[in-house]
């Protein structure tokens, strides 16, 4: 029992470490002064006002959202397929392939960005949204592979073999057995891919077409002038939206789910 | 199954091909361009001449300046990786094993910081450790200190910044592998007489190694390839190999040198990955027999 | 750690399995729905946005962001769009080198039209690199109000024509915290205050530009920055200063933050940024040391840009009302001649402002001398910065 308590305290400590900076961002969003610093000079909503009156940020937000969702779709699809090949099959050159799939992580982003640009020049292709999409997908792919692979290793093969022996074809087996078991990993991979795209700055600065801003590049532009609490206000809004929506949705789901489960008690066994 | 193994199995290659094609087109070919570029001659700022000469490579191989940067990079990456592993394993274990009903919330909380820009997150450490930061303000208010303490812009702030940014990668990787472990194993070990600690050490820990390994690899590689964190949180002495690349490509506009440095970093990190995949590859094999 | 009660533990595990998984699935489903909704709305918005800007020519402007962009958008870009139907798409660069890297990598200036270019040395680099144009000054009547003294250095590089219009100027002097350093003490030491061991760990400097470091190294080693004879002496001073520095800042925002939080007490600094700090009530003093660095910024038109529209925009930007509003906003004096255009107090009180319009008191970088040595000397700073 004592060990578990210790683990719990340790975890709480780590979460505090993770969230101290976030808390600071949230608090300073309401600071009155020009500078984001302590002690606070007063409570003010003026940074939010400025933020919401800034159409460029709203546009950047939409760009980032669209981009992130498309990136996570692409890289998760590619990543899951590759991971299944790597974990489920024995073949020659497997180690090499694993290394190869993870290799994009090794390339410093500046290098990757410039390299891809040089390559595009040879193809006579201008920078575009498509380049950002492909580039981000490549940046996210290794993470998806790593996450999904680690999960897949833990899934017992017997389940699949049982399904096969019961007459399911490989595709049926995948969709009815492997995929449900894999879903948490797929989800984690997709979320990872989304966040990597959503948070990327270094490569995006190079790849984005002129006039297109994502949230990080927009923030970067704001930072050039001053580290104003408006940025913290943006952080506040982003946290509220990204954490608030799922929390609310989760609460609602539980509410309806409980009703549902009461009607179909067997579901809770699966 | 045995029959299928005997002949050449196309299926893994079918599954792999989309990813392989994408990586080849968007990473391998551009990197080949970079390699070719590393032999070019930089005539003047932003003016390069196609050539085949080893000037850049000779400079890297003979100049102590670059060795110092490599050493610094590896040292710092090791420290960050180790600390992240120590800090990250326990929470991952907690999330995987807790009976807390809203487990997904704990996971979501981990990813949440990513949704605020990386730059804001890094800068926020200045608001905590700086002169105007939360800690100094609090201590001044309480009268513990008279003058703000100097805590910013040194090696330690860089390490803190790195760990803060990369810890979620570590925790999530460990969590994913812990969560994939059959939950009956540890209790089973205990019914066979093992203590809680023994059960963990003999059963759970080895099974979670792929995740721990993946997390360590990721954190190491990501740290070794960064350059922004030391710029924001470090002092004059804090820099990484990535900063040299950035300087060469962006500041000096000397792409041939930048390309040569990039390839150097790539090869060094590649060695790390090969060592890793040898190690972890063996472990996974061992596990298959268990 | 002690042995755990295995029954409780088992129970907990079982519960975790049951609950955790179900919650996760619900959560997944919901997140999927949320994702689809967001994706759809995002897609619709994007397509709407593309339709909205179908008419007129697009001009791509790149600048330093922040209040500079805000002022330009409000006083120049928006009226321009209203008057002509052409749209100005403005974005932020991290420095002109970033733009040059992009253009070089892409092999064309497509998507880049007008730059808020800093320094005559960059004017030289862009024009010598073949990225310049020949502006038709008859289409920019407001150019007549620009100081001759600020145009001359540009004309020297491209005799007979211009590829840019000078827009503003400023200085890089010394900023110090008046709580810790008195005005007399600071000004008596000049550029050498950055080498005073008394302030070790309280000194800052701009890390982003080798030429800036070398300029101060020249001042500290007693040389004429536009005629450096002993580069070793310059770098020796730079090394000496590095040992005392707490932080080399890399942006104006960082400079302001370091000064305001008193992490550093003394640093070289950009005049406009210090003016902004003073306006906010911070105890920061500023002076230009002897032979301190002055610079001018221009609106540079890149090759391949739609010329009529670009010239029209430059004319808008140089209109006295616009130029002065922008100057007051970004805290750098306008390039307009104060003897021809009446300036409000918000502009005349800016640091480095020269009421004579001759700029005789300011020392600018000689681009011919400095660009010639950049390939060799530029790397020195990158090495010294890292202790080499």
Do A204 and A214 meet the contact criterion of CB atoms below 8 Å apart?
Answer: yes
- Tens digits of per-residue pLDDT, B183-234? 777 778 888 877 878 888 888 888 888 888 888 988 998 898 888 889 889 8
Residue B287 has pLDDT above 60, yes or no: no
Q: Which helix (H) or strand (E) holds C265?
A: none
Do C310 and C265 have their domain in common?
no
How many angstroms separate the CA of residue B192 from the nearest CA in chain A? 19
Do B33 and A123 meet the contact criterion of CB atoms below 8 Å apart?
Answer: no
Do C191 and C66 have their domain in common?
no
Number of CB atoms found within 10 A of residue A48's CB? 18
Do C230 and C317 have their domain in common?
no
Do C196 and C84 have their domain in common?
no
Whole-number pLDDT of residue A107: 78
Whole-number pLDDT of residue C49: 47
Q: Is A101 an 8 Å CB contact of chain B?
A: yes
Domain limits at A151? Answer: 55-217
Whole-number pLDDT of residue C5: 41
| Interface residue of A109, A210, A214, A241 to substitute, partner C, most C CBs within 10 Å | A210
Do C152 and C73 have their domain in common?
yes
- 3-state class (DSSP) for residue C197: helix
Do A47 and A235 meet the contact criterion of CB atoms below 8 Å apart?
Answer: no
Whole-number pLDDT of residue C45: 45
> Is A183 domain-assigned?
yes
Query: pLDDT band at A224, cuts 50/70/90?
Result: low
DSSP H helices, chain B, are: 2-6, 11-23, 29-37, 55-62, 64-97, 103-111, 118-129, 134-142, 155-179, 185-191, 196-199, 205-225, 228-233, 241-246, 255-289
Mean pLDDT of B120-133: 86
> Is A35 domain-assigned?
no
Q: Which helix (H) or strand (E) holds A125?
A: none
Q: Cα separation of A61 and A69, whole Å?
A: 12
Q: Cα separation of A16 and B182, whole Å?
A: 30
Cβ burial of C18 (10 Å; 0-12, 13-18, 19+) is: middle
> Is C29 domain-assigned?
no
| Interface residue of A221, A230, A248, A254 to substitute, partner C, most C CBs within 10 Å | A221
- 3-state class (DSSP) for residue B49: strand
Do C288 and C378 have their domain in common?
yes
Do C186 and C285 meet the contact criterion of CB atoms below 8 Å apart?
Answer: yes
Pick the range with the lowest mean pLDDT from A246-255, B19-28, C150-159, C177-186: A246-255
Do C329 and C197 have their domain in common?
no
Do C184 and C75 have their domain in common?
no
> Is C27 domain-assigned?
no
Do C305 and C266 have their domain in common?
no
> Is C18 domain-assigned?
no
Q: What is the CATH number of domain B30-289?
A: 1.10.3720.10
Residue B283 has pLDDT above 60, yes or no: no
> Is A7 domain-assigned?
no
Averaged pLDDT of chain A:
79
Query: pLDDT band at B22, cuts 50/70/90?
Result: very high
Q: How many domains in chain C?
A: 2
Q: Cα separation of B11 and A78, whole Å?
A: 15
Q: Is C43 an 8 Å CB contact of chain B?
A: no
More confident position, A35 or A150: A150
Q: Cα separation of C282 and C274, whole Å?
A: 9
C-beta atoms of A114 and C280 within 8 A: no
**CA nearest to C310, candidates C129, C114, C76, C154:** C114
CATH number at residue C324: 3.40.190.10
C-beta atoms of A115 and B164 within 8 A: no
Residue A118 with chain C: CB contacts under 8 Å: 105
Q: Which of C18, C27, C34 sits opposite A268 (nearest CB)?
A: C18
pLDDT in tens, chain C (388 residues): 333 443 343 334 333 333 333 344 444 444 454 444 444 444 544 444 444 444 688 899 998 776 677 788 888 898 899 988 898 988 777 778 878 877 877 778 888 999 999 888 899 999 998 999 999 999 999 999 999 999 999 999 999 999 999 999 999 999 999 999 999 999 999 999 999 999 999 999 998 889 999 999 999 999 999 999 999 999 999 999 999 999 999 888 788 889 988 999 999 999 988 998 898 889 999 999 999 999 999 999 999 999 999 999 999 999 999 999 999 988 899 999 999 999 999 999 998 899 998 998 889 999 889 988 988 898 899 889 888 7
Q: What's the number of CA atoms in the CB half-sphere (13 Å) around residue A256?
A: 8
> Is A136 domain-assigned?
yes
Q: Which helix (H) or strand (E) holds C358?
A: none
> Which residues, in sequence order, are bridge partners of residue C175?
C267, C286
Residue B132 with chain C: CB contacts under 8 Å: 260-262
Whole-number pLDDT of residue C251: 80
Residue C387 with chain B: CB contacts under 8 Å: 68, 236-237
- The CA-based angle B272-B277-B283, given to 5 degrees, is 130
How many angstroms separate the CA of residue C318 from the nearest CA in chain B? 31
Residues 216-255 of C with CB under 8 A from A: 251-254
Q: Cα separation of C147 and C152, whole Å?
A: 9
Residue B162 has pLDDT above 70, yes or no: yes
> Is C28 domain-assigned?
no
Specify the length of chain A in residues: 270
Q: Cα separation of C314 and B109, whole Å?
A: 49
Q: Which of C49, C107, C252 sits opposite A225 (nearest CB)?
A: C252
Whole-number pLDDT of residue C143: 95
Distance of CA C34 to the CA centre of its chain: 40
Residue A162 has pLDDT above 80, yes or no: yes
Mean pLDDT of B25-34: 90
**CA nearest to A215, candidates C155, C323, C106, B115:** B115
Residue A220 with chain C: CB contacts under 8 Å: 92, 94
Q: Which helix (H) or strand (E) holds A247?
A: helix A229-263
Averaged pLDDT of chain B:
84
Q: Is A222 an 8 Å CB contact of chain B?
A: no
CATH number at residue A138: 1.10.3720.10
Q: What share of chain A is helix, strand, coil (3-state, %, to 5)?
A: 80, 0, 20
Do C310 and C161 have their domain in common?
yes
CA distances from B141 to B137, B148, B278 (A): 6, 11, 55
How many angstroms separate the CA of residue A106 from the nearest CA in chain B? 6
Domain limits at C289? Answer: 170-293+369-385
DSSP H helices, chain C, are: 6-52, 66-72, 78-84, 96-106, 120-128, 148-157, 183-189, 210-220, 231-242, 252-260, 271-279, 307-318, 320-330, 345-348, 367-385
Do C69 and C162 have their domain in common?
yes
Give backbone dihedrals phi and psi of C114, rounded to 5 degrees, phi first: -125, 135
Q: How many domains in chain A?
A: 1
Of A177-191, B94-108, B110-124, C288-302, give the range with the top mean pLDDT: C288-302
Residue A232 with chain B: CB contacts under 8 Å: 120
- Tens digits of per-residue pLDDT, B39-57? 998 877 667 788 889 989 9
């Amino acid at each position: 029992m004592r060990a578990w308590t210790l683990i719990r305290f340790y975890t709480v400590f780590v979460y505090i470490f993770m969230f101290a900076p976030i808390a600071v961002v949230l608090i300073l969003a309401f600071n009155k002064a020009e500078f984001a610093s302590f002690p606070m000079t007063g409570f003010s909503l003026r940074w939010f006002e400025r933020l919401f009156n800034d159409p460029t940020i709203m546009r950047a937000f939409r760009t980032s959202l669209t981009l992130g969702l498309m990136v996570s779709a692409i890289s998760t699809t590619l990543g899951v397929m590759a991971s299944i090949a790597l974990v489920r099959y024995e073949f020659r050159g497997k180690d090499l392939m694993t290394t190869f799939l993870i290799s994009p992580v090794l390339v410093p982003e500046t290098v990757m960005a410039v390299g891809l640009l040089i390559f595009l020049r040879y193809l006579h292709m201008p920078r575009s949204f498509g380049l950002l999409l492909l580039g981000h997908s490549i940046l996210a792919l290794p993470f998806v592979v790593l996450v999904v692979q680690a999960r897949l290793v833990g899934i017992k093969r017997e389940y699949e073999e049982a399904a096969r022996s019961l007459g399911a074809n490989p595709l049926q087996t995948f969709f009815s057995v492997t995929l449900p078991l894999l879903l948490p990993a797929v989800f984690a991979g997709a979320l990872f891919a989304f966040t990597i795209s959503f948070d990327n700055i270094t490569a995006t600065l190079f790849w984005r077409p002129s006039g297109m801003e994502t949230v990080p590049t927009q923030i970067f532009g704001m930072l050039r002038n001053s580290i104003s609490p408006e940025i913290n206000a943006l952080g506040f809004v982003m946290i509220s939206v990204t954490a608030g929506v799922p929390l609310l949705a989760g609460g609602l789901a539980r509410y309806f789910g409980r009703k549902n489960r009461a009607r179909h008690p067997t579901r809770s066994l699966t | 199954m045995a029959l299928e193994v005997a002949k050449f199995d196309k299926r893994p290659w079918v599954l792999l091909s989309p990813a392989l094609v994408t990586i080849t087109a968007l990473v391998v070919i551009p990197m080949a361009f970079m390699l070719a570029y590393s032999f070019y001659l930089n005539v003047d700022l932003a003016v390069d001449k196609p050539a085949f000469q080893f000037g850049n490579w000779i400079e890297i191989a003979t100049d102590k300046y670059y060795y110092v940067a490599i050493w610094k990079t590896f040292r710092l990456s090791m420290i960050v990786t180790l600390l992240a592993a120590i800090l990250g394993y326990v929470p991952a274990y907690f999330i995987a094993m807790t009976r807390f009903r809203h487990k997904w919330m704990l996971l979501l909380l981990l990813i949440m910081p990513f949704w605020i820009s990386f730059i804001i997150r890094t800068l926020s450490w200045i608001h905590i450790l700086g002169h105007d930061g939360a800690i100094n303000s609090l201590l001044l208010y309480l009268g513990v200190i008279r003058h703000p303490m100097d805590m910013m812009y040194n090696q330690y702030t860089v390490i803190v910044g790195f760990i803060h940014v990369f810890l979620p990668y570590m925790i999530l990787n460990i969590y994913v592998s812990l969560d994939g472990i059959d939950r009956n194993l540890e209790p089973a070990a205990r019914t066979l007489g093992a203590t809680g600690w023994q059960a963990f050490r003999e059963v759970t820990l080895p099974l979670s190694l792929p995740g721990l390994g993946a997390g360590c690899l990721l954190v190491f590689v990501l740290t070794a390839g960064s350059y922004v964190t030391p710029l924001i949180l470090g002092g004059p002495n804090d820099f990484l190999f990535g900063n040299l690349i950035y300087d060469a490509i962006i500041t000096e506009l000397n792409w041939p040198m930048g390309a040569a440095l990039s390839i150097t970093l790539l090869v060094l990190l590649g060695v790390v990955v090969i060592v890793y995949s040898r190690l972890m590859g063996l472990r996974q094999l061992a596990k298959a027999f268990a | 750690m002690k042995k755990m009660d295995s029954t409780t533990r088992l129970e907990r595990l079982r519960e975790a399995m049951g609950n955790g998984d179900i919650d996760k699935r619900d959560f997944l489903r919901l997140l999927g729905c949320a994702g689809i909704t967001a994706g759809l709305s995002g897609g619709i918005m994007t397509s709407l946005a593309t339709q909205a800007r179908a008419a007129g020519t697009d001009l791509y402007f790149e600048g330093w962001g922040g209040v500079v962009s805000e002022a330009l958008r409000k006083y120049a870009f928006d009226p321009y769009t209203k008057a002509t139907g052409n749209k100005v798409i403005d974005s932020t660069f991290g420095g002109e080198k970033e733009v040059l890297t992009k253009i070089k990598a892409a092999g064309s200036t497509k998507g880049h039209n007008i730059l808020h270019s800093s320094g005559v040395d960059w004017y030289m680099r862009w024009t010598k690199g073949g990225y310049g144009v020949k502006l038709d000054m008859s289409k920019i009547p407001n150019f007549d109000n620009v100081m001759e003294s600020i145009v001359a250095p540009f004309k020297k590089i491209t005799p007979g024509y211009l590829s840019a219009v000078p827009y503003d100027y400023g200085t890089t002097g010394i900023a110090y915290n008046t709580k810790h350093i008195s005005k007399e003490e600071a000004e008596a030491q000049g550029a050498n205050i950055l080498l005073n061991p008394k302030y070790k760990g309280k000194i800052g400097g701009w890390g982003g530009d080798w030429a800036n470091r070398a300029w101060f190294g020249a001042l500290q080693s007693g040389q004429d920055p536009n005629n450096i004879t002993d580069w070793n002496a310059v770098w020796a001073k730079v090394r000496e200063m590095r040992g005392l520095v707490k932080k080399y800042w890399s942006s104006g925002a960082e400079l302001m933050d370091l000064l305001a939080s008193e992490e550093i007490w003394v640093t070289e600094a950009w005049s406009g940024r210090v003016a902004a700090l003073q306006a906010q009530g911070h105890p920061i003093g500023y002076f230009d040391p002897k032979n301190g660095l002055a610079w001018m910024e221009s609106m540079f038109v890149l090759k391949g840009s739609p010329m009529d529209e670009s010239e029209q925009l430059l004319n808008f930007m140089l209109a006295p009302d616009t130029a002065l509003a922008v100057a007051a906003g970004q805290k750098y004096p306008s390039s307009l001649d104060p003897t021809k255009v009446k300036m409000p107090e918000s502009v005349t009180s800016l640091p480095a402002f020269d009421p004579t319009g001759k700029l005789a008191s300011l020392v600018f970088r000689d681009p011919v001398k400095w660009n010639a040595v950049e390939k060799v000397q530029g790397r020195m700073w990158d090495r010294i910065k890292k202790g080499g």
